[in-house]
């Protein structure tokens, strides 16, 4: 039996939600249909992709690896169906893209590689910049388009934006953390725990907003600009943190497991998107890149 796009969609939805029931609601189908599709997919691949926990399901190591492949496959199919990119494959010119750190490190690599293969005649120049500098260079015309955390965008008067991805923020814990036995975890519960604060790409400033919204503050024991340091510290049980699914990996660099849990209170997502200057027409090369990213991520161009 061949693998189907439906199986991939069901698997992605379940992996991202951590619950078969949540995936079924999002997909507007029955839980049994989701379960059957994933079981068939595992049988076809010959590996176990998900394992059950008392709180839902979690990715196995093979499942985490396959999830990236599944996203690439479904994204490529969406791009092929939604827009005639092949007709534009001969596009040339120069494209100047600005990216923030998190986007460059945890989001863009596979899409950039695919874009270069689709448009080999286009010259692409990339700058990694902090958000304020990126916004300033877009307004000044030093960059054609930016790929950034648009949830942090400050200059909305002079910059246009397009959302590409909403990445949920969830609680990260070590595999033996005592909070894992709770059916529901609140921000008040997290406030009682040692907390690892990430600072890169204004993460600490963003976190302060949703902590302030519930009238609480984290008990910070360490502050770092390194996502990998946060991952290792959480996995080792030094503390917990709340970060987005986009930067989550199930294991630390030394192979220790990191668990995810949703919180009772709503925590704002980390939104990735494109930004460009309102004051001038978007350049042809930038428009091509915008259309490529939009359809690859499932948008409409």
> Average pLDDT of the chain?
88
Q: For the residues 49-64, what does the mean pLDDT come to?
A: 84
More confident residue, 114 or 267: 267
Is residue 86 over pLDDT 60? no
Q: For the residues 126-154, what does the mean pLDDT come to?
A: 97
Q: For the residues 168-173, what does the mean pLDDT come to?
A: 94
pLDDT at 258: 93
pLDDT at 77: 72
- The pLDDT tens digits for 18-37 are 888 888 877 778 888 889 99
- The pLDDT-based confidence of 229 (bands split at 50, 70, 90) is very high
Least confident of 125-139, 249-263, 271-285: 249-263
- Domains of the chain, each with CATH number or no CATH: 5-82 (1.10.10.10), 91-166+271-296 (3.40.190.10), 169-268 (3.40.190.10)
- The pLDDT tens digits for 194-224 are 999 999 999 999 999 999 999 999 999 999 9
E strand or H helix at 131: helix 131-140
Least confident of 159-163, 176-180, 251-255: 251-255
128-137, 265-274, 292-301 — most confident range: 128-137
In this structure, the dihedral spanned by the alpha carbons of residues 127, 202, 168 and 151, taken in order and rounded to 10 degrees, is -70
44-58, 62-76, 110-124, 158-172 — most confident range: 158-172
Q: For the residues 94-110, what does the mean pLDDT come to?
A: 93
pLDDT at 153: 96
Q: Which residues contact 182 (CB under 8 A, 6 or more apart)?
A: 189
Is residue 241 over pLDDT 70? yes
- The pLDDT tens digits for 107-120 are 998 888 888 888 88
Provide the residue count of the chain. Answer: 301
More confident residue, 82 or 176: 176
Beta 145-149 vs 93-99: how paired, if at all? parallel
pLDDT at 81: 56
Q: Global pTM? A: 0.73
For residues 193 and 201, give the distance between their C-alpha atoms in angstroms, rounded to a whole number.
Answer: 24
Is residue 268 over pLDDT 80? yes
Indicate the burial class of 90 (C-beta count within 10 angstroms; 0-12, 13-18, 19 or more): exposed
Task: Report the chain's terminal Cα–Cα distance, integer Å.
Answer: 34
- The pLDDT tens digits for 126-137 are 999 999 999 999
């Amino acid at each position: 039996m061949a693998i189907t796009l439906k199986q991939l969609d069901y698997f992605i939805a379940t992996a991202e939600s951590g619950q078969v029931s949540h995936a079924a609601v999002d997909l507007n189908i029955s839980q049994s249909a989701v379960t059957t599709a994933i079981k068939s997919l595992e049988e076809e691949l010959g590996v176990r992709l998900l394992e059950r926990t008392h709180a839902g399901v979690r990715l196995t190591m093979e499942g985490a690896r396959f999830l990236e492949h599944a996203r690439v496959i479904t994204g490529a199919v969406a791009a092929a169906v939604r827009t005639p990119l092949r007709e534009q494959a001969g596009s040339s010119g120069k494209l100047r893209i600005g990216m923030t750190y998190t986007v460059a490190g945890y989001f863009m690599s596979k899409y950039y590689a695919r874009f270069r293969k689709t448009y080999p005649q286009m010259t692409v120049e990339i700058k990694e910049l902090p958000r304020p500098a990126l916004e300033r260079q877009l307004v000044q015309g030093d960059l054609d388009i930016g790929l950034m955390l648009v949830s942090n965008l400050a200059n909305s008067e002079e910059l246009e934006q397009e959302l590409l991805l909403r990445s949920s923020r969830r609680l990260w814990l070590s595999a033996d953390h005592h909070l894992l036995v709770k059916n529901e975890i609140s921000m008040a519960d997290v406030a009682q725990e040692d907390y690892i604060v990430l600072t890169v790409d204004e993460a600490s400033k963003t976190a302060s907003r949703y902590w302030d919204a519930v009238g609480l503050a984290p008990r910070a024991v360490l502050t770092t600009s390194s996502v990998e340091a946060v991952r290792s510290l959480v996995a080792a049980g030094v503390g917990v943190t709340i970060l987005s699914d986009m930067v989550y990996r199930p294991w630390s660099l030394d192979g220790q497991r990191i668990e995810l849990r949703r919180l009772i209170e709503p925590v704002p997502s980390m939104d990735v998107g494109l930004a460009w200057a309102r004051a001038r027409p978007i350049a042809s090369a930038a428009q091509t890149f915008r259309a490529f990213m939009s359809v690859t991520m499932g948008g409409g161009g």
